[in-house]
């Protein structure tokens, strides 16, 4: 009888390398799909939470609206039932004139502690409610951005600037609606043939000033004619003319080609005369010398009168800002400045204007400030007002300021 051959032990199946690769790839794709699905579920959950949060706030707002309206109706009907004739005319069902006011200044936010959202009827006739006084504006406005990106490559138009600043009224005036500023500021710009620079200045400064909660008006003092330019005299004219237009107590004098690079450089007055433009790009963002007071500066009405305003006899470029610095120090005041990191400015590059050549007499005049400041200044200002025209973004004041006296002959 033949003997059966011994059975061989079955060995496990081993997949090939290509099959192993496909298996690993499939598992990887499966894990990726699960991760994507998990992220989608998480995103959906977050969106539902936000949706119900907003929905609950809106539901709370409408419920408060209805409660306020019902309360107003109840109060008016109870007043009528009591026989009070004055209450019957306000909010009565038959009057047909209801004006409700609500505190909706913070949409999608809950009310702070102690606040109530209550409807109130506007009185008619002689009954006028006393408006609630506004709180003082904060020293550090909460909406400031800090360091700004300033560029002049994009094309700028007045129409664009006007669209960007709908809350600015005719003449370039603005008042914060939610607080009471300490100062009423007139911003004065000496001007001639700088229309393109003015567009960029308005484009950047209007939003900055509004974020700073400044009550301000912008005044362009335009020197007519082609006689030698006189920056300081135009600033004196601006001071005199702005006081005719409003009750200003702070005056900021700015060149039209200087743009602040940080909105924390607050454009209002201080206890001492203020020099804002302390770090211009053309000077390597450094103060060129200790007595420099050019570019952008500010004085209160009291400080301006104490130094008799600015000199009128600096015709041409240079010297007037040093004379103003001398007037400040000679009258016992000191110049205050912001931090150098905040007082940075960019200048719009341009060629020097015609009829604004360097004044060769400026150095002699600066040395005689002590002798001339009492008789040369706002007290001796003369000019001819030609036109005052209010534009949507600024007030233009065109003047004739004369011409420089003839220079003494040499020899």
As annotated, the active-site residues are: 255, 257, 317, 320-321, 347, 350, 352
Instruction: Count the Cβ atoms, other than its own, within 10 Å of residue 306.
Output: 16
Do 316 and 357 meet the contact criterion of CB atoms below 8 Å apart? yes
Backbone φ and ψ of 386, nearest 5°: -100, -45
SS (H, E, C) 315-344: CCECCHHHHHHHHHHHCCCCCECCCCCCCE
Is 217 exposed, middle or buried, given 0-12, 13-18 or 19+ CB atoms closer than 10 A?
A: buried
Handedness of CA 66, 72, 76, 82 (dihedral sign): positive
Q: Does residue 221 contact residue 229 with C-beta atoms inside 8 Å?
A: no
Q: Is the dihedral of CA 305, 246, 187, 227 positive or negative?
A: negative
Q: How far apart are CA 179 and CA 199, in angstroms?
A: 28
> What whole-number distance in Å separates Cα of residue 187 and Cα of residue 217?
6
- 10 Å CB burial of residue 175 (0-12, 13-18, 19+) is middle
Q: Please list, in sequence order, all residues whose beta carbon lies within 8 angstroms of the beta carbon of residue 304, skipping any fewer than 6 positions away.
A: 239, 251, 378
The number of C-alpha atoms within 13 Å of 236 and in the hemisphere containing its C-beta is: 26
The number of CA neighbours under 13 Å toward the Cβ of 16 is 2
Tallying the residues shown for the chain, one arrives at: 411
334 vs 234: CA distance, rounded Å: 24
């Amino acid at each position: 009888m033949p003997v059966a051959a011994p059975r061989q032990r079955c060995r496990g199946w081993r997949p090939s390398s290509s099959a192993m690769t496909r298996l690993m790839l499939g598992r990887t794709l499966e894990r990726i799909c699960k991760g994507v699905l998990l992220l989608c579920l998480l995103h959906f959950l977050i969106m539902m939470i936000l949706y119900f949060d907003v929905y609950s706030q809106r539901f709370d707002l409408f419920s408060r609206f209805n409660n306020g309206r019902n309360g107003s109706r109840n109060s008016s009907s109870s007043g009528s039932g009591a026989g009070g004739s004055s209450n019957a005319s306000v909010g009565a069902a038959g009057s047909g004139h209801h004006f409700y006011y609500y505190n909706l200044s913070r949409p999608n936010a809950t009310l702070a502690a102690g606040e109530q959202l209550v409807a109130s009827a506007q009185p008619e006739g002689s009954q006028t409610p006393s408006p609630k006084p506004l709180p003082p504006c904060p020293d550090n406005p909460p909406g400031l951005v800090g360091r700004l990106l300033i560029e002049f490559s994009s094309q700028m138009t007045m129409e664009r600037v006007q669209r960007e600043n709908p809350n600015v009224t005719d003449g370039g005036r603005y008042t914060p609606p939610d607080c009471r500023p300490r100062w009423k500021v007139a911003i004065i710009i000496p001007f001639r043939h700088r229309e393109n620079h003015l567009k960029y200045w308005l484009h950047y400064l209007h939003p900055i000033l509004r974020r700073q909660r400044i009550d301000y008006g912008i005044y362009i003092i335009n020197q007519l004619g082609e006689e030698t330019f006189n920056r300081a005299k135009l600033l004196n004219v601006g001071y005199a003319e702005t006081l005719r237009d409003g009750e200003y107590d702070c005056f900021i004098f700015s060149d039209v080609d200087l743009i602040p690079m940080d909105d924390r450089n607050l454009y209002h007055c201080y206890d001492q005369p203020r020099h804002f433009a302390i770090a211009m790009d053309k000077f390597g963002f450094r103060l060129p010398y200790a007595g420099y007071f050019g570019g952008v500066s500010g004085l209160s009405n009291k400080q301006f009168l104490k130094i008799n305003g600015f000199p009128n006899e600096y015709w041409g470029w240079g010297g007037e800002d040093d004379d103003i610095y001398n007037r400040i120090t000679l009258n016992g005041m000191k110049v205050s400045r912001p931090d150098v990191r905040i007082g940075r400015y960019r200048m719009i590059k341009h060629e020097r204007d015609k009829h604004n050549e360097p004044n060769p007499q400026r150095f002699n005049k600066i040395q005689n400030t002590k002798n001339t400041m009492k008789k040369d200044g706002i007290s001796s200002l003369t000019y001819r007002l030609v036109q005052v025209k209010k534009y949507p973004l600024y007030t233009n004041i065109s003047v004739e300021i004369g011409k420089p006296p003839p220079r003494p002959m040499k020899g």
